[in-house]
Structure 1
Amino acid sequence: MKNKSFLFISCEEAKHICDKAQYNEASFWEKFKLNLRYIWCHITRTYVNRNKKLTKTVKSSKITCLKNSEKQQLKEVFQEELENQHQ
């Protein structure tokens, strides 16, 4: 059986904690372990920095979503076009 380190985490675990931290779901202890790995692992640093950039971009975007009625209308038009192509 492999001994799991108390302080040091794997890259995969670091990525998971980074994702949790993005949504304020990571505990203080998880953030601490993530920061330890961040200091010495360039892969983790790259992942965290990209994640921060993505979060910032999404928050600053002015994306508007379709209403359910608009989605339904679009589906109907799409379905009609598909049926017309098969005739």
Structure 2
Amino acid sequence: MKKSFLFISCEEAKHICDKAQYNEASIWEHFKLSLRLMYCRITKSYSSKNKQLSKVIETSEVKCLKAEERRRLQNQFNEALSEQQQTN
């Protein structure tokens, strides 16, 4: 099967969509993606969900555990697990 010059597969469109989100796609890739978005509802849906996910991640205020807190929590978990295994 001959690869088309303008038309891309859904998989390639998804890859370009991901690249475009991080400003890594070329102008030509943007053009081919735009062409695909005109007629493919699956790619259009993927692109929309991708944009929503990025927006949520950018606006989220995620607080991560520090290394010491994570170790303390892991030790507490391991102790509780070993106590539970001893009682069973």
TM normalised by structure 1 equals 0.92
Secondary structure of 1:86's match? helix
| Equivalence for 1:69 | 68
Identity of aligned residues (%): 58
Query: Deviations for 1:50-79, whole angstroms, at most 9, x for unmatched residues?
Result: 111111111111111111221111111111
> Which amino acid counterpart does residue 35 of structure 1 have in structure 2?
S
TM normalised by structure 2 equals 0.91
> Which amino acid counterpart does residue 53 of structure 2 have in structure 1?
L
Distance 1:26 1:76 in 2: 45
> Which amino acid counterpart does residue 38 of structure 1 have in structure 2?
L
Distance 2:33 2:50 in 1: 14
Distance 1:73 1:84 in 2: 17
Distance 2:10 2:45 in 1: 11
| Equivalence for 1:22 | 21
Shift of 1:8: 0.6
**In angstroms, what is the RMSD of aligned CA positions?**
1.0
Secondary structure of 2:46's match? helix
Asked if 1:80 corresponds to 2:61, the answer is no
Aligned length: 86
Structure 1 unaligned residues grouped into runs of 5+: none
